[in-house]
Amino acid sequence: MEKLEIQGSLSNSTLLIGESFHNYKLYLPNKQVIVLMDDKVRGLYGKYFEDYPIIEIGQTEKNKTLSTIENIMGQLLDLNADRSTFLLAVGGGIICDIGGFAASIYLRGIEFGFISTTLLSQVDASVGGKNGVNFKGFKNMVGVFNQPSFVLCDQEMLKTLSTEDLNCGFAEIVKHTLISDAEMFEKLENNIEKALNIETDFIEALVANSVRIKAGIVNKDEKEKGERRKLNLGHTYGHAVEKVLGVAHGNAVSIGLAISAKLSLNRGTITANDYQRVVNLLKALNLPIMVTEKHEEILEALLMDKKREGNEIHFVLMHGIGDVSLELISIEELKKIEL
Ligand SMILES: NC(=O)c1ccc[n+]([C@@H]2O[C@H](COP(=O)([O-])OP(=O)(O)OC[C@H]3O[C@@H](n4cnc5c(N)ncnc54)[C@H](O)[C@@H]3O)[C@@H](O)[C@H]2O)c1
Ligand SMILES: [Zn+2]
């Protein structure tokens, strides 16, 4: 097991990577605990949490809304939750985003922790203290920065994931290696089978490495004033794809990474060989690299993006593998790219 710390402005967070979820009670405070899960995770793991009341919500992004938050507030009230109550969110990125937000605003904030059950949430969503929901079609429009007391990531839980949900997590891992770890990128290139077969040691090392990268960036810039923007690699275009095509977050990010690689190639900041390596790695991990429809709508969604400045959009571009920078890209430049 590897333990990492994030120093948040409000509180610190302990990340437990490779800890068995059977030990979760060791990390709970001695007070009322309420568990939040989606129906699928409850069906798979609910029996391990029966000592506590469980608030169940539906799956998918369509539930990541203020009305779900309102529903959770109502159930917390019915369960007599008070300032000393601890909310334990058990699930993927959606449950962590919703649970962290609900806990942060109920009674102006109660303590909370995560058991992170998808690869995507273990390497990304549950790390860093961004919590929130979508609003009027915009991703993560309403929310807070607030760190969970702990995040427990047990790689054994990943074995029940669907292939698609597993692959989505790899998109965020590739993103982290592209931002700052050329060595891990190469290791992943050379161990695709181990990754896809969720070989425990390999996956644990991969998750720990990814979390180390993200935690290192968050510790420098929790509120995304500068350095943390690098983590948006693949996400500017990715969020537009997610919104217009309704594909899973990880798949959209993969397409966004391929677009960023292409823009970087066109600007000469990565070589044709490195561009090909990025595309090949995404493909080997069964991730999509292009969209075949609704190009115009995606461009329109991009223009409505929060990161826009006039007719230009903030994009994270690559400098070789393992380094990135924030650049402005014009709509014309975007229209020109072909994958
Ligand atoms: N806060 C952040 O910094 C941050 C970062 C990245 C992504 N996100 C958010 O994370 C969300 C995507 O996360 P996700 O892909 O984990 O989504 P998710 O929570 O919907 O999980 C995907 C699916 O896997 C199921 N599942 C969860 N754990 C399982 C398990 N162990 N076995 C079998 N099935 C399981 C869920 O029921 C769901 O159907 C998006 O909303 C995205 O915006 C947030
Ligand atoms: Zn993401």
Q: What is the pLDDT of residue 11?
A: 84
**Range from 47-51, 81-85, 131-135, 308-312 carrying the lowest mean pLDDT:** 308-312
pLDDT at 185 over 80: yes
Q: What is the mean pLDDT of residues 5-19?
A: 90
Distance CA(75)–CA(264), nearest Å, equals: 48
Residue among 152, 249, 257 to mutate when testing ligand 1 (max atoms within 8 A of CB): 249
Token match 């609003």: residue?
Answer: 135
Contacts of 246 (CB under 8 A, 6+ apart): none
User: What CATH topology corresponds to 2-160?
Assistant: Rossmann fold (3.40.50)
Q: What is the pLDDT of residue 306?
A: 61
Contacts of 227 (CB under 8 A, 6+ apart): 217, 220, 221
Q: Write down the mean pLDDT value for the chain.
A: 93
Percent of the chain with pLDDT over 90: 79
- Closest ligand, as measured to the CA of 228: 1
pLDDT at 96 over 80: yes
pLDDT at 305 over 80: no
Q: Name the residue with the closest Cα to ligand 1, atom 4.
A: 125
pLDDT at 339 over 70: no
What phi, psi does 273 have (nearest 5°)?
-65, -45
The confidence band for 258, taking pLDDT boundaries of 50, 70 and 90, is: very high
The CATH code of the domain at 163-336 is 1.20.1090.10
What phi, psi does 119 have (nearest 5°)?
-60, -40
pLDDT greater at residue 93 or residue 331: 93
Cα(51) to centroid(ligand 2), Å:
33
Domain with CATH 3.40.50.1970 in the chain: 2-160
Cα(52) to centroid(ligand 2), Å:
31
Q: What is the pLDDT of residue 307?
A: 62
Helix H, strand E, coil C: the string for the chain is: CEEEEEECCCCEEEEEECCCHHHHHHHCCCCCEEEEEEHHHHHHHHHHHCCCCEEEECCCHHHCCHHHHHHHHHHHHHCCCCCCCEEEEEECHHHHHHHHHHHHHHHHCCEEEEEECCHHHHHHHCCCCEEEEEECCEEEEEEEECCCCEEEECHHHHHHCCHHHHHHHHHHHHHHHHHHCHHHHHHHHHCHHHHHCCCHHHHHHHHHHHHHHHHHHHHHCCCCCCHHHHHHCCHHHHHHHHHHHCCCHHHHHHHHHHHHHHHHHHHCCCCHHHHHHHHHHHHHCCCCCCCCCCHHHHHHHHHCCCCEECCEEEEEEECCCCCEEEEEEEHHHHHHCCC
Q: Name the residue with the closest Cα to ligand 1, atom 38.
A: 59
Compute the C-alpha angle 50/55/59, nearest 5°: 110
Token match 């995404």: residue?
Answer: 282
**Range from 176-180, 247-251, 262-266, 331-335 carrying the lowest mean pLDDT:** 331-335
Cα(166) to centroid(ligand 1), Å:
10
Cα(7) to centroid(ligand 1), Å:
24
Q: What is the pLDDT of residue 308?
A: 67
Contacts of 237 (CB under 8 A, 6+ apart): 255, 256, 259, 260, 298, 302, 315
Nearest atom of ligand 1 to the alpha carbon of 100: 1
Cα(251) to centroid(ligand 2), Å:
10
Cα(254) to centroid(ligand 2), Å:
10
Residue among 152, 165, 218, 230 to mutate when testing ligand 1 (max atoms within 8 A of CB): 165
Q: Name the residue with the closest Cα to ligand 1, atom 3.
A: 125
CB-defined site of ligand 1, < 6 Å: 38, 40-41, 44, 59, 61, 64, 91-95, 97, 117-118, 120-121, 124-125, 128, 130, 139-140, 157, 160-161, 165, 168, 249
Q: What is the pLDDT of residue 119?
A: 97
pLDDT greater at residue 213 or residue 335: 213
Cα(121) to centroid(ligand 1), Å:
6
Cα(121) to centroid(ligand 2), Å:
9
Domain with CATH 1.20.1090.10 in the chain: 163-336
Q: Read off the pTM.
A: 0.93
Contacts of 67 (CB under 8 A, 6+ apart): none
pLDDT at 300 over 90: no
**Amino acid (1-letter code) at residue 214:** K
Q: What is the mean pLDDT of residues 136-141?
A: 87
- Of the candidates 201, 195, 118, 96, the residue with the CA atom closest to the CA atom of residue 162: 118
Task: Report the 10 Å Cβ neighbour count for 10.
Answer: 12
Cα(267) to centroid(ligand 1), Å:
34
| Burial class of residue 311 in the structure, from the number of CB atoms within 10 Å of its CB (0-12 exposed, 13-18 middle, 19+ buried) | exposed
Q: What is the mean pLDDT of residues 289-313?
A: 81
Residue among 36, 40, 115 to mutate when testing ligand 1 (max atoms within 8 A of CB): 40
pLDDT for 149-163, tens place per residue?
A: 999 999 999 999 999
Q: Name the residue with the closest Cα to ligand 1, atom 44.
A: 125
